[in-house]
Structure 1
Amino acid sequence: MKKSQLERTERLRSISSLLVETVPFTEATDIIRRTYNNWHTRAEGTCAFVVGESGAGKTTVADDFLAMTARDLGTEYVAETSPDAHGRWGLIKETENGFIRPVLKVFAAPTATRKGLLFDLLFALGIRAKKNSTETDLMALARRHLMAQQVKLLIFDETHHIIDGHKKATAGEAAGLLKMLLIQPRVQIVCLGLPHTVEILTATEQLGRRCIAQYEIPPFRDNVHVPEGDFMHFCRALERALPFDRKSGLDQPGMALRLHGAGAGYVGRIVHITLTAAELAIDRGLPRVSAALLGEAYRDITTKQKNSTQITDDINPFLIEEFRPDQFAVIRARLEAQNADSTRQRGQKTPAPEFTK
């Protein structure tokens, strides 16, 4: 059957589920695996930090590790958006005495406080704590269930939210919370987040000496003229994943260079641009993704970012005749700096979600 004859959802899933193992991807996965394998090898738990810019692939690495670990244990990783028949999600292993969760991923909400993070942790464990519980009560409950459900590794995603935004915790307070989880339940912890997440790690020597690795996932280099390089390998995989019968040319050096510039070399950003362009092509009945569609998708994506300067056609990397990577990098850096200033406002008065108050 031709790709164009498949259902829209199935066609787009081929891009959104794309996974290309690169050197940084492997290195980040190895750190998570080593942290997991360190469970109960020391008197206290150890931690690791895997950080990177938005779109670097941090969450993808964690989800892939969860899926691999589930397969090794003879079970499956259930996404939170599709819980099982018992309303459970995550990595769940059935045993004679019930079930266990060897690895638990917890998303730190954008307005997370220390207390809110404990609510989120308990929620991931399947426990709905009382809203009027104290932080001490929540920690005791979390410790009990972490041990009862035999959690070996805790993965905190978007960890930077703990020290950003509404009623932020200081880096020292966040470090104290992580330290308590390392000491009493003796779980292993991996923190994923933006680069400044490491402020938590450096806030106190006590957490620092329990850290076994710190890694920042780098972007691809724009070595489009190296056919066997990581980036061109990725572009070829992206071209193959496109849900069209005609080639779009994403694996050609000229187009690959424009993709790299628009996405700053980050996997997640490049896939997002390509997926958006593919949606436009499918909905309009077009046979492939063109430079014009990529330019429209890129313009739409950047326009939707809060407080960002709109990408006009005269600087859009997919629409200009001669693309100069160095020149555009300066423009992109300015736009990203504006976005960072608007999103990382320390102590901003943003209403906290009901569940994390």
Structure 2
Amino acid sequence: MDEISDRLGAAQLPAAERQAILKKLIINHDRLVEGVEALSRFHMPVKGGIHDTGCVSAIVGDSRTGKSFAASAYARRYPPVPGEKGMILPVLLVETAPTGGLRPVLENLANALGMLQSPRMNNALLTNNILEGLRYHQVQLLIFDEFQDVCDSRNVRLAVDVKRLLRKILNLDALNIVCIGLPETYEILANDKQLVGRGGLQHAHLHPYTWDSQEERMSFRLLCEKFDEGMPFQEKSGLGSASVAQRLHWVSDGIIGKLKNFLFQAGCLAINDGCEHVTFEHLAMAYSAIKPPKTIFNPFVDDWSQRPTEQSDLPLSSAQHALSKRSVAHA
């Protein structure tokens, strides 16, 4: 009953607030749980124990599979707290800088530590100050996001400098490091024997959802259902039904970030039309806006059996072939 009343209340909000709900919708899905659990394991290998030190680990995966979101969610579990000498920063999340050499990497790290810096300060001095800052603020877990950007094979010098920085940080024997990035991040780290020697390079790979097994299909359908529950409409849209979820998987490649963006666009169209839920027409319009040039097939309009790539088929009724005007909720 609370879920229904919350949904009805959200549906009656002004359009701008409903748009914000769609944009900021947060779903607790199994990939998020997997990422957070990996970070917890890299941070504190024994539940109820103490934080580990001197090891580097990695979380990798395709773009928009939830890696950065998991890192942010985990960091929020360990907010800054006052200490005897200053603020304690148990988990420090740093976004790496993709251009400009080592200096922007150091500056981003210094900024995350709240350190004052000057352009006249050379890299060696800034590095030493960072090492002291990590000790001073009692950082237990240092997370570098988008790590592949600073270890691009086209910039060998930067890769060497960044790996040297990681080794210096690990030599403090006060904290662990987690590098988050695209799948090549693992190879970047694995090719450095000195880094691999710092803990064996534990890693977790966050994969997109597939449609190849019953378990994966049910997980993706549950994900769609959770999005449906959180959308600000009077009625649910049936996004978790087998036929609709398969189409959503097709347009999103099973990637949660792409799914969220797609449903945001469809939801905005439904709000503009004053509808009580998202319809197939809205989904079709949202896909028409993003489909590649010269692409004709639209999974929310055309016969599903005519899709251009092979995926696991679901039995569809003849009525489900005429989708452009139908409500998703009644599919």
Regarding TM over 0.5, the answer is yes
Larger radius of gyration: 2
Q: Hey, what does 1:19 align to over in structure 2?
A: 27
Name the CA shift for 1:109/1:321 in 2 (closer, same or farther; >3 Å). farther
Instruction: Check the 8 A contact 1:223/1:231 in 2, yes or no.
Output: no
CA distance, structure 1, for counterparts of residue 196 and residue 43 of structure 2? 18
- Cα distance per residue 1:192-243 (max 9 Å; x no partner): 1111112321231000121441121011122696698211211111111111
Q: Hey, what does 2:174 align to over in structure 1?
A: 186
- Cα distance per residue 1:16-66 (max 9 Å; x no partner): 3322231x4333222211221269877x51111001111100011112212
The partner residue of 1:121 within 109, 118, 127 is 109
Give the superposition deviation at 1:301.
Answer: 4.5
CA distance, structure 2, for counterparts of residue 103 and residue 31 of structure 1? 14
CA distance, structure 2, for counterparts of residue 263 and residue 129 of structure 1? 43
Q: Hey, what does 2:35 align to over in structure 1?
A: 28
Q: Hey, what does 2:309 align to over in structure 1?
A: 327
CA distance, structure 1, for counterparts of residue 16 and residue 149 of structure 2? 32
The partner residue of 2:66 within 33, 45, 57 is 57
* TM-score w.r.t. length of structure 2: 0.80
Map residues 123-202 of structure 1 onto 2, 5 A cutoff: 123-164=111-152, 169=157, 171-184=159-172, 186-202=174-190
The partner residue of 2:91 within 103, 115, 126 is 103
Map residues 222-241 of structure 1 onto 2, 5 A cutoff: 222=211, 229-241=218-230
CA distance, structure 2, for counterparts of residue 110 and residue 317 of structure 1? 37
Map residues 253-264 of structure 1 onto 2, 5 A cutoff: 253-264=242-253
Q: Which range moved further: 27-36 or 314-323?
A: 314-323
Instruction: Check the 8 A contact 1:224/1:253 in 2, yes or no.
Output: no
CA distance, structure 1, for counterparts of residue 222 and residue 150 of structure 2? 36
Q: Percent identity?
A: 28
Matched, 1:315 2:297: yes
Runs of at least 5 residues in structure 2 that lack an aligned partner in the other structure: 1-7, 312-331
Instruction: Check the 8 A contact 1:112/1:166 in 2, yes or no.
Output: no
Q: Report the residue type matching 1:213 in the other structure.
A: Q
Runs of at least 5 residues in structure 1 that lack an aligned partner in the other structure: 71-90, 303-309, 330-357
Instruction: Report the 3-state secondary structure (helix = DSSP H, G, I; strand = E; otherwise coil) of the residue aligned with 2:81.
Output: strand
* TM-score w.r.t. length of structure 1: 0.74
Instruction: Report the 3-state secondary structure (helix = DSSP H, G, I; strand = E; otherwise coil) of the residue aligned with 2:304.
Output: coil
Q: Alignment length, in residue pairs?
A: 299
Give the superposition deviation at 1:180.
Answer: 1.4
- Cα distance per residue 1:242-282 (max 9 Å; x no partner): 11112322112111011111111111111111112212322
CA distance, structure 2, for counterparts of residue 206 and residue 217 of structure 1? 25
Instruction: Report the 3-state secondary structure (helix = DSSP H, G, I; strand = E; otherwise coil) of the residue aligned with 1:50.
Output: strand
RMSD: 2.9
Instruction: Check the 8 A contact 2:131/2:169 in 1, yes or no.
Output: yes
CA distance, structure 2, for counterparts of residue 263 and residue 213 of structure 1? 29
The partner residue of 2:209 within 204, 220, 226 is 220
CA distance, structure 1, for counterparts of residue 122 and residue 305 of structure 2? 57
Instruction: Check the 8 A contact 2:57/2:203 in 1, yes or no.
Output: yes
